[in-house]
Amino acid sequence: MNLTLKIWRQKNANDKGKLVDYKISDVSPDMSFLEMLDVLNEDLINKGEDPVAFDHDCREGICGMCSLYINGEAHGPDRGVTTCQLHMRMFKDGDTIFIEPFRATAFPVIKDLVVDRSSFDRIQHAGGFISVNTSGRPVDANNIPVNKHDADEAFEAATCIGCGACVASCKNSSAMLFVGAKVSQFALLPQGKVEATERVLNMVKQMDEEGFGNCTNTGACEVECPKGISLENIARMNREYLAASLKG
Amino acid sequence: MSGIFNSSIGRKFAMALSAFFLMIFLLQHFAINILSVFSEEAFNSASHFMGTFWVVQYIFQPVLIFGVIFHFIMGFVLEIRNRNARKISYVKNNGGANSTWMSRNMIWSGLTILAFLVLHFIDFWIPEISTKYFQGDMTGLLPDGNFRYYEELHHKFENPLRVAAYCLAFVFLSLHLLHGFNSAFQSVGANNKYTKGLKGFGKAYAILIPLGFVFIALYHHFNH
Amino acid sequence: MALDSKIPSGPIADKWTNYKNHIDLVNPANKRLIDVIVVGTGLAGGSAAATLAELGYNVKAFCFQDSPRRAHSIAAQGGINAAKNYQGDGDSIYRLFYDTVKGGDYRSREANVYRLAEVSGNIIDQCVMQGVPFAREYGGLLDNRSFGGVLVSRTFYAAGQTGQQLLLGAYSAMNRQIGRGKIKMYNRHEMLDVVVVGGKARGIITRNLITGEIERHSAHAVVLGTGGYGNVFFLSTNAMGSNVTAAWKAHKRGAYFANPCYTQIHPTCIPVSGDHQSKLTLMSESLRNDGRIWVPKKMEDVEAIREGKLKPTQIAEEDRDYYLERRYPAFGNLVPRDVASRAAKERCDAGYGVNKTGEAVYLDFASAIERYGKVQATIKHLDVNDKALVKKLGQEVIKEKYGNLFQMYEKIVDQDPYETPMMIYPAVHYTMGGVWVDYNLMTTVPGLYCIGEANFSDHGANRLGASALMQGLADGYFVLPYTIGDYLSKDIRTGKIPTDSPEFDEAENNVRERINRFINNNGTHSVDYFHKKLGKIMWNKVGMSRNTQGLKEAISEIKALREEFWKDVKVPGTNEEFNEELAKAGRVADFLELGELFAKDALHREESCGGHFREESVEEDGPQKGEAKRDDENFAYVAAWEYKGEPSDAVLHKEELEFKDIELKQRSYK
């Protein structure tokens, strides 16, 4: 099929940037979206133009590196997938496809479609861990029984891949699904409860300092999340935070 | 506790608390107004009670006014902060794919309600305050010796333009509540397996209460 | 230089304990004076960086991705082995040790593998403490699953995302240290050289992938946890960015490269769909528990399927060739990965491949669906002869077990695997070979360590499922932190390593020179063009089955391709910007050298062992006729190659493997 791509081009963080039109032909419906961009880039390189920069790595939906805003949605129109898992059969011959970077003040553009998500890392540095050192003889793993339901819920929360689709989709660029998932994972486990108060206060403080917006519960994040992380995690974080504020 | 309202979650929580308060007030307001459809007498005595009982007048009323102003100002503050969180917007954004119109446009439904409140204050609240506290007439009576409340209400809904404005505002109120009701519960952390039933209740509340107000307005309009 | 593996003396079960009791330690105050560089932040690098920082060393960690959490360890699906014996099914440290050595086709170092088995239990304890949400039973205790090639249930897992959860555990431990300032994290930085000062590794040269800045970083020791080199095949299950560059630079600076030809080809991956293909997706090995692998018996059926005239479901049972069940009646569809992969290739080479490229076989769940459906119907007192009902019930069971994998398959291939068999084909998955290290995990360059998939140590010629995660974390959490301390104890008075020495100048100049050469080359073909060509040579001639002629051809073709690459590669843009093509060019240049050494190693090893199959070395007769034939008399050694300029000049050093605790046997799956 033949497509028109409207791709955001921006030389670097200081450049203003604009949408540029590209025509691409003979796209196979079996291609992944990123393979389609590979073909475009190969073409641009051969023509002596600058290829489009975009983040990608594992190309199987787990590393969280790919981050495109395609036709007005994070990771494109399909559900439960990352951009690398989106296939061209979702589009029709003759379509025009808008491709933009994830937008948020806390995710500044580095080049073209590549954004800087180190704000996510900094939130994790503030409290996304349980304070235990590696040691040769810790407690035997089975000395800490965990209710299966809690363990499963903690796992669901922990499947977040940190891609930032929640922020990109949120009209407020809020990072609460991302932070809520981490807070929830640890809050649900006995190992994590010990420092739950400190954790949620520190992570939320860092989240606010990074310039993410406030959650207004539109639920867009949950819909666009490639891993289906539930809004319940935000509610749990709210509870944890309020309880922690009263204590602290 | 310090600094809680300077945090994103704290603001959300404050927004939700004021919303709960306003939703309870709305229910109470509706409960009294709907009396006007069934019984002029009941409506009058309830109105008189609310208008003269000191707890309502000197405690609830200021709290309510504070709640309304707080909810609006906080709404604006959040809106501005949220806009700052994305300084460059998308060229193409398909918000409808992942969220409801109501949830994305709370600021606009809220502003419509604010405009309505101005009209509503001019219609009812300012004359009420003026009668009671500036003219000092605390009797609630008309010259003919009957209570004035029902007459005033009935009279206001004579003008079709006013009725239309009220109805339109109630539509926006409903849209605001359709997102706001459940959003407030989510904000205070009430979203788990025990609260699934709340969603339906919230929807019912958001549609039935404004619909009831519309009914009251139309009832009085067509009963002239 | 003779290879000294520095294996401690004494009985195998006591080696590690004795070793730990006698090494030199660094006191806490002195640790603050010592810097360690860790390159790579996957399971091995991430766990090492976190643990070293907890101990008090100043750690500088580097990754080319935008966050340590993106390392490709995250993609591991199945699980992690540990000899906990929680199931009471007779597991023990010895048994895990034995299974790993046997699974590796007796080409690994006994002492290292025993230590790996010994610390495996600690990994689970540590990860649980960190909040890794492993799967649990209703009683609240940890659950286990079984995996290929072993007789016990010892695999701990978190659904199909075990690698992700373990990596996020290591990442969280790193985050704590980054927050405390004990780890300085350099994201989007690529290591482009190791700096050796006075015979010791004392630093690295990196390129900031955002600004292009070339930076010097010094330390008292350098640790590489930079993963495997499967991308030398272009198409593999590795991430797009996975590369050999760090390991190769170390090799060029004196680290021997061991057993490069040992590559694991995983049998159950989604087949290539066309020339645009950029990577291959693995479908968990667990599918082979319930799926039956087959191709049609008749060539006319194959042709009809390719032309779309016939559907696989229309082929009668007697016209199907369940070739694994036919050839290996004892293990059937559950033969080890290398055996299953070669058997698929054999059928496709014979012309029976079922997709348009001729490189796919069926993995069919219809029998399993029927079997499970009947069981469910019986349990629920329903009619077992109602075919539609049985199918529906069976599909529900399959969905419960493999739902996410089936969904993934459907997204990629656009076929419903509940209704029609999956198509699969083998793909490059893991490299057992890597930088040679001694018992201390130190390379032949003093002060340069190599851990995880990047080293060669524990898996011999073939890796068992769920052992890669175990090795990465064992190295990083429990082995390296001890062994590196012994080395660093001699460095407490050294003081900061200056970065203005001639060695740093030379290394930086080398890096700059190479980058300039790329930028100014003005060739006509993109980097990918060469990478794909290299991949084709590797896959066709150094892939699942290898022979003398093919390997010789590969060596000369790769050499020629390398020369063409340097003449004709086109890298757009400049160094001083985000330039992915430039980064890729450097990686492919190194693959083009490694590829040749890889083929050379495969050529010299005239035996078949594990993932390395030489067509000349097969059993001639007897019950094992046609199967891989190992040659313990001549090849029971590690082949460690020393860099001498061109890959063809590499010098072979042999580390003889001694098997004192395990008897060498032929692997049989008939």
| CB-CB under 8 Å, B183 with A213 | no
Distance, C-alpha C400 to centroid of its chain? 28
Are residues C283 and C400 both part of a single domain?
yes
Closest-CA distance, B65 to chain A, in angstroms, reads 23
- Per-residue model confidence (pLDDT) at position C597: 98
Check CB contact under 8 Å for B12 and A214.
Answer: yes
Are residues C555 and C406 part of one domain?
no
Is residue B3 pLDDT above 90, yes or no?
no
Both tokens of C603, joined, read: 């050529």
What mean pLDDT is reported for chain A? 96
Q: Does A234 touch chain B (CB under 8 A)?
A: yes
Mean pLDDT of chain B: 93
Q: Is C345 exposed, middle or buried (0-12, 13-18, 19+ CB in 10 A)?
A: buried
Per this entry, what is the length of chain B?
224
Mean pLDDT by 10 residues, chain C (670 residues): 90 96 94 97 98 98 98 93 95 96 94 97 96 94 83 89 96 98 98 98 98 98 98 97 98 98 95 92 87 96 94 95 93 87 94 93 95 94 93 91 87 93 96 97 98 96 93 98 96 95 98 97 96 97 96 98 98 96 98 98 97 95 88 97 96 96 84
Rounded distance, CA C110 to CA C429, Å? Answer: 24
* CA distances in angstroms from C420 to A44, C410, C413, listed in the order given: 39, 11, 12
Q: What are phi and psi of C383, to 5 degrees?
A: -75, 115
Please write the tens of the pLDDT for every residue from A32-63. Answer: 999 999 999 999 999 999 999 999 999 999 99
**103-142 in chain A: CB under 8 A from chain C:** 110-111, 114, 116-118, 120-121, 124-142
Do C279 and C422 fall into the same domain?
yes
Minimal Cβ distance to B92: which of A71, A236, A239: A71
Q: How many domains does the structure of chain C reveal?
A: 2
In a domain, C543, yes or no: yes
The two three-digit tokens of residue C391, written as one number: 């199918």
Please check the confidence at residue B2 and state whether its pLDDT lies above 60: no
- Quick check: is C622 in a domain? yes
Q: And the tokens for C79? A: 């699980």
Sheet holding A18-24, edge to edge: A18-24, A3-9, A96-101, A68-70, A73-74
- Which residue in A has a C-alpha nearest to residue B94's C-alpha? A72
C188 catalytic per annotation: no
Which residue in C629, C584, C617 sits closest to C234, CA to CA?
A: C584
Q: How many CB pairs under 8 A join A and C?
A: 215
Q: Give the integer Cα–Cα distance in Å for B156 and B172.
A: 21
**Beta strands C422-431 and C361-364, pairing class:** antiparallel
Q: Which of residues 197-216 of A touch C (CB under 8 A)?
A: none
Domain closes at, from C402, C427, C452: C427
The whole-number pLDDT of residue B193 equals 75
Q: Which residues of chain C neighbour A134 with C-beta distances below 8 Å?
A: 47, 50-51, 54, 126, 173, 477-478, 481
Q: Do C72 and A63 touch (CB under 8 A)?
A: yes
CB contacts, 8 Å: B9 with chain A: 176, 204, 237-238, 241-242
Distances, alpha carbon C50 to alpha carbons A139, C175, C481, in Å: 19, 8, 10
Q: Which of A93-97, B30-34, C143-147, C411-415 has the lowest mean pLDDT?
A: C143-147
* Buried b / exposed e along B130-159 (16+ C-beta atoms within 10 A): ebbeeeeeeebeeeeeebbbbebbbebbee
- Structure tokens of C390? 């049985």
- Lookup: tokens for C278: 């950029």
Any domain includes C49 = no
Q: CB distance from C583 to chain A under 8 Å?
A: no
The sign one gets for the Cα dihedral B52, B56, B62, B66 is negative
| Residue A83 confidence class, pLDDT cut points 50, 70, 90 | very high
Chain C residue numbers with beta carbons less than 8 Å from the beta carbon of A117 are: 66-67
pLDDT tens, position by position, B101-128: 999 999 999 999 999 999 999 999 999 9
Please answer yes or no on whether C75 and A161 come within 8 Å at the CB atom.
no
From the list A81, A117, A139, the residue facing C129 with the nearest CB is: A139
> Of these residues, C337, C347, C605, C667, which one is catalytic?
C337
Chain-chain contact of A207 with B84 (C-beta, under 8 angstroms): no
Q: What residue has token string 């580390």?
A: C655
pLDDT at residue number C670 = 75
pLDDT band for position A109 (cuts 50, 70, 90): very high
Question: Do residue A129 and residue C277 have CB atoms under 8 angstroms apart?
Answer: no
Q: Degrees (nearest 5) of the Cα angle C537, C538, C540?
A: 65
Q: How many residues does chain C have?
A: 670
Q: What is the DSSP letter of A90?
A: G
Cβ within 8 Å, pair B186-A106: no
Q: Are residues C407 and C531 in the same domain?
A: no
Q: Are strands C58-62 and C183-186 parallel, antiparallel or unpaired?
A: parallel
Condensed to tens digits (0 to 9), the pLDDT of residues C267-314 reads: 999 999 888 999 999 988 888 888 999 999 999 999 999 999 999 999
Question: What's the Cα-to-Cα distance from A71 to each of A91, B99, C244, rounded to whole Å?
Answer: 11, 16, 36
- Give the residue from C77, C81, C130, C524 with the most A CB atoms within 10 Å of its CB, the best one to mutate: C130
C394/C157 Cα distance (integer angstroms): 24
- Round to whole Å and give the CA distance between C135 and C182: 32
HSE value, Cβ hemisphere, 13 Å, CA-based, for C587: 25
Contact A62 C75 (CB under 8 A): yes
Chain B contacts in chain A segment 119-148 (CB below 8 A): none
Alpha helices in C383-432 (DSSP H): 387-413
Q: Is the dihedral of CA C106, C112, C115, C116 positive or negative?
A: negative
> Which residue among C409, C427, C445 closes a domain?
C427
Q: Which domains does chain A have, with CATH numbers?
A: 3-111 (3.10.20.30), 117-247 (1.10.1060.10)
Nearest in space to C61 (alpha carbons), one of C252, C191, C172, C242: C191
Domain extent at residue C563 = 522-635
CA B180 to chain centre: 12
| Radius of gyration of the CA atoms of chain A, in A | 20
pLDDT of residue C402: 85
**What's residue B1's pLDDT?**
45
Q: Exposed, middle or buried: residue C244 (CB in 10 Å: 0-12, 13-18, 19+)?
A: buried
Indicate whether C416 and C535 sit together in one domain: no
HEC profile of chain B: CCCHHHCHHHHHHHHHHHHHHHHHHHHHHHHHHHHHHHCHHHHHHHHHHHHHCHHHHHHHHHHHHHHHHHHHHHHHHHHHHHHHCCCCCCCCCCHHHCCCHHHHCHHHHHHHHHHHHHHHHHHHHHHHHHHHHHCCCCCCECCCCCECHHHHHHHHCCCHHHHHHHHHHHHHHHHHHHHHHHHHHHHCCCCCHHHHHHHHHHHHHHHHHHHHHHHHHHHHHHCC
* pLDDT at residue number B86: 97
Residues C530, C418 share a domain = no
Report ipTM for this prediction: 0.98
Indicate which CATH number applies to the domain containing C615.
1.20.58.100
Of C427, C446, C469, the position where a domain reaches its end is: C427
**pLDDT in the model for residue B140:** 87
Q: Is C280 on the interface with A (CB under 8 A)?
A: no
